């Protein structure tokens, strides 16, 4: 069930090999068993996307059954294994939507919902406390190595004591924040791995002489209206008197907020492009504002993205290339 395709550059094997090499190098530098995800998640996404694109909904059933089997067989190995079937479901969803011009950038981000659901449920899984404790041990070991390096470089006396005090205070704050932010970090990491898997799927599709996978533009980023309910659900969990739900609330709120932050950037990009500002100038301006005023930049772009849900600013702007039906290319 393959049709359509979009015009764009052909993916090359050189890029694919370099991508796999980078993923493999990162896997070697990461602690086991999480290191397996550097390669397993992109592979699962690529296979699920291509199979679902080729065989349609019937393939989605097979992917779901394999996902359930993997979870059941690997449940005793820890929560890391759950990310593979969640990523496979996201890849299958992308494959089902590849007909025609494919999904837009915001719709593609919404297809990460299986992994967001897993991230939100992560604090309630049996091995979560073990994961938090392991991350804390790794960070404490890093602090100890840094202090030892400072001693070897000749740092001593009051300066070294100040560094030790700062690290102790940071460790206390980190101990409180880690259970709240680990699910978000894992979700963002898995989102990058899904992007890598999609790139591998594009190379494979070209080799098989299938139509090209659709290419998303930041300019078209617009989250579905359902994403607003995710944001509101996270906010509600944080203001409710249920401390145990705080990690889930922060996971939903932060990731939906990041999505609307990106939507705000897309709105700003559309505004400047419509007025003839060159893309390199836009990129440099955004990076400059991000570096000198990151908190205000994030909050303002997130507010702009949220208001775009109702005001739809880009509907009022002329399309820069003159093709109002271009879609996700």
For 232-258, the pLDDT digits (tens) are 999 999 999 999 999 999 999 999 999
Q: How far is CA 199 from the centre of its chain?
A: 15
Residues 43, 85 contacting (CB under 8 angstroms): no
What pLDDT is stored for residue 71 in this prediction? 66
The length of the chain, given as a count of residues: 329
For the ranges 67-76, 156-165, 206-215, 292-301, which has the lowest average pLDDT? Answer: 67-76
267 has a pLDDT exceeding 70: yes
- Residues 7-22 pLDDT 10s: 445 556 788 889 999 9
What pLDDT is stored for residue 184 in this prediction? 96
Cα separation, 80 vs 118, in Å, equals 11
- Residues 169-217 pLDDT 10s: 888 888 889 999 999 999 999 999 999 999 999 999 888 888 888 888 8
- Residues 74-90 pLDDT 10s: 555 678 888 988 999 99
Residues 19, 200 contacting (CB under 8 angstroms): yes
What pLDDT is stored for residue 22 in this prediction? 94
H helix runs in 1-126, sequence order: 13-29, 37-55, 57-74, 83-96, 105-110, 113-121
What pLDDT is stored for residue 327 in this prediction? 40
What pLDDT is stored for residue 66 in this prediction? 72
Cβ neighbours of 130 (radius 10 Å)? 12
Its pTM stands at: 0.86
């Amino acid at each position: 069930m393959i049709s359509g395709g979009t015009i764009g550059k052909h993916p090359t094997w050189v890029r694919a090999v370099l991508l796999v090499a980078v993923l493999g190098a990162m896997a070697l530098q990461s602690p086991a068993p999480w290191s397996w995800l550097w390669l397993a998640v992109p592979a699962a996404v690529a296979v699920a996307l291509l199979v679902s694109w080729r065989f349609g909904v019937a393939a989605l059933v097979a992917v779901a059954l394999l996902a359930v089997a993997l979870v059941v067989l690997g449940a005793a190995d820890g929560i890391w294994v759950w990310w593979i079937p969640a990523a496979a479901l996201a890849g299958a969803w992308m494959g089902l939507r590849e007909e025609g011009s494919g999904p837009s950038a915001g719709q593609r981000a919404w297809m990460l919902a299986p992994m967001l659901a897993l991230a939100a449920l992560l604090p309630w899984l049996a091995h979560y406390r073990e994961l938090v404790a392991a991350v804390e041990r790794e960070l404490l070991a890093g602090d100890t190595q840094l202090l030892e390096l400072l001693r070897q470089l000749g740092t001593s006396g009051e300066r070294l004591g100040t560094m030790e005090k700062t690290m102790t205070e940071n460790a206390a704050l980190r101990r409180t924040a880690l259970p709240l932010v680990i699910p978000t970090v894992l979700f963002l990491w898995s989102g990058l791995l899904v992007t890598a898997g999609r790139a591998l799927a594009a190379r494979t599709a070209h080799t098989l002489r299938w139509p090209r996978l659709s290419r998303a533009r930041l300019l078209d980023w617009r989250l579905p209206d359902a994403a607003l309910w995710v944001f509101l659900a996270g906010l509600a969990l944080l203001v409710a008197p249920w401390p145990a739900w705080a990690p889930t609330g922060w996971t939903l709120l932060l990731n939906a907020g990041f999505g609307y932050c990106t939507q705000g950037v897309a709105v700003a990009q559309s505004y400047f492009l419509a007025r003839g500002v060159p893309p390199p100038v836009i990129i440099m301006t955004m990076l400059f504002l991000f570096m000198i005023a990151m908190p205000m930049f994030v909050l303002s772009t997130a507010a702009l993205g949220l208001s775009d849900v109702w005001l739809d600013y880009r509907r009022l702007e002329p399309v820069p290339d003159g093709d109002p039906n271009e879609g996700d290319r």
